[in-house]
Amino acid sequence: MVLLKSPDGGWGWVIVLVSFFTQFFCYGSPLAVGVLYLEWLDTFGEGKGKTAWIGSLASGVGLLASPVCSACVSSFGARPVTIFSGFMVAGGLMMSSFAPNIYFLFFSYGIIVGLGCGLLYTATVTITCQYFDKRRGLALGLISTGSSVGLFIYAALQRELIELYGLDGCLLIVGALSLNILACGSLMRPLALSDSPLPEKSCLEKVPDQYLIYYEKENTSILEKGYNEEKCVNNMSRCDCKHDSILNKNGLISIHAKETDTYKQKVVEQTYFCKQLAKKKWQLYLNYWEETLFLFKNKVFSSLFIAILLFDIGGFPPLLLMEDVARSSNISEEEYVMPLISIIGIMTAVGKLVLGVLADFKWINTLYLYVITLIMTGVTLVAIPFAKSYIMLAIFSGILGFLTGNWSIFPYVTTKTVGIEKLAHAYGILMFFAGLGNSLGPPIVGWFYDWTQTYDIAFCFSGLCVLLGGLLLLVAALPCWDNCNNQSAKPPPNTYSYTVASSV
């Protein structure tokens, strides 16, 4: 049984709509956590570094657990995972309203909500890819803007709810809104199954030949046994009962002896089968790590994983701390036209669309385009300490939001670096390090503030991290490395090298 061909429309547009709102409701509060961050600082009186762990865990746990999330969606399907994760996100947000201390928030908001968001992201992307083939890029682009729109709206919404109902009431209401994910999940109808057989080998074909021979012999013996019993019943109606009973007794003894030998043989064959299966699983495990090591031999991939780690360490904190930066700069609330996080959110959506369109042009190298966004992000972060007015902070927030939209071209860069066959493996590794960067970035910047009582050094550190990652990736992607590689030995089969000079 296999899935039917992707319809590229029809109910697929309903899937796009509900996936958009799923990401809207689940990522709205975690991405706009900067508004809650200020309230948690005032409520619990902890340091900025420790308090920043709440938002960083909410964003990083889902990425760190991406292999687990993928396994859950593959095993249970997108609809059950979405409904279950909707309960997780809503429950985590509501539990956070009763938090007695900051450590409770690490669990309720950071881990529960973060893991629920990771599951929902995987589920929405998976079912969208199942429904779309030719228009898959458009569909994924549309659903990915749900998180950016959620950031834009939730930043203002949470600020208003805090003024009306307080922090606890805000979290309860936002948690109740997240229950709409259940309705979205109920509409994620899986594709119907086709009766066409799979082109792969069946399970019996994968079993060792010795075990198959035994399997056929056993079936034959069972059939012969049933035929002999039926024949014996017919003979009893025509022959002498005493003679038949003697024959039956001898037959039972013979059958019992054969069954004993068969049982012993079956144990031996099953033991052999289990050993072969364990051997194959171990070989797959070794192949996985061998392929992982080979990926890191690719200079561009190794630089890419360092760049994404440094980018998330330096580029993610503004999303969480920009509101506190404005308050530390003594900017009055009367100057606020729009929350800075809302500006970042709406410009991120614009950046995703614009950069995604640019990546489709054949004359644009997506790797160089990605490097440019990293370098510009680093320069903007270094310039933030010099912004002392709301207008300047709003401009820098818009630039950072637009450049953060480079997430839309990151899969393109990964594909061109390692090849389509190794995309899933490589992308999972990169997302793990992205989650690690998301988890470490805000606390590091917060600790810098606790140490220096200013964000100047913290944002200079963030900008230098992103700049270092961008420059390292640029050096690794220079065409001169291709000439060196051509003079060296050829790579093994099924491996890929990134050729920057060629058109993307």
Pair 314, 463: CB distance under 8 Å: yes
pLDDT digits (tens, 9 = 90+) for 51-99: 888 988 888 888 888 778 877 887 888 899 999 999 999 999 999 999 9
The Cα 57–Cα 66 span in angstroms is: 14
Pair 469, 310: CB distance under 8 Å: yes
The Cα 381–Cα 461 span in angstroms is: 9
Provide the residue type at 284 as one letter. L
- DSSP H/E element including 326: helix 317-328
- The count of residues in the chain is 504
What residues have CB less than 8 Å from 161, skipping those under 6 apart? 169, 170, 173, 174
Q: CA nearest 328: which of 342, 312, 340?
A: 340
* Tens of each residue's pLDDT in the chain, 504 residues: 455 566 767 888 899 899 999 999 999 888 888 889 889 988 888 888 888 889 888 888 888 887 788 778 878 888 999 999 999 999 999 999 999 999 999 999 999 999 999 899 888 888 887 887 777 667 777 888 888 889 889 988 998 999 999 999 999 999 999 999 999 999 998 876 555 444 444 443 344 444 433 444 444 444 344 444 444 444 444 444 445 555 455 555 565 656 666 766 776 677 777 877 777 777 776 777 777 788 778 888 888 889 988 998 888 887 778 888 888 777 776 677 788 888 888 888 888 888 877 877 778 888 889 999 999 999 999 998 888 888 888 899 999 989 988 887 787 788 778 776 776 677 777 878 888 888 888 888 888 888 888 888 888 998 999 999 999 999 888 775 555 444 444 444 443 333 333 332
The Cα 1–Cα 200 span in angstroms is: 11
Residue 5's pLDDT is 61
pTM: 0.68
Residue 83's pLDDT is 94
- DSSP H/E element including 193: strand 193-194
> Which residue, chain included where needed, has tokens 């699983």?
281
The helices-and-strands tally (H runs, E runs) of the chain is 21, 2
Residue 22's pLDDT is 94
What residues have CB less than 8 Å from 255, skipping those under 6 apart? 225
- DSSP H/E element including 207: none
Please write down the long-range contacts of 174-177, taking CB distance under 8 Å and 24 or more positions apart: 174/28, 174/29, 174/93, 175/89, 175/90, 175/91, 175/92, 175/93, 175/94, 175/96, 175/97, 176/90, 176/94, 177/25
What are the tokens at 185? 């999940």
Distances (CA, A) of 431 to 306, 364, 483: 12, 25, 30
User: CA quadruple 454, 458, 464, 466: dihedral positive or negative?
Assistant: negative
What residues have CB less than 8 Å from 100, skipping those under 6 apart? none
The Cα 285–Cα 276 span in angstroms is: 14
**Where do the domains of the chain lie, and which CATH numbers do they carry?**
1-194 (1.20.1250.20), 298-479 (1.20.1250.20)
Pair 295, 418: CB distance under 8 Å: yes
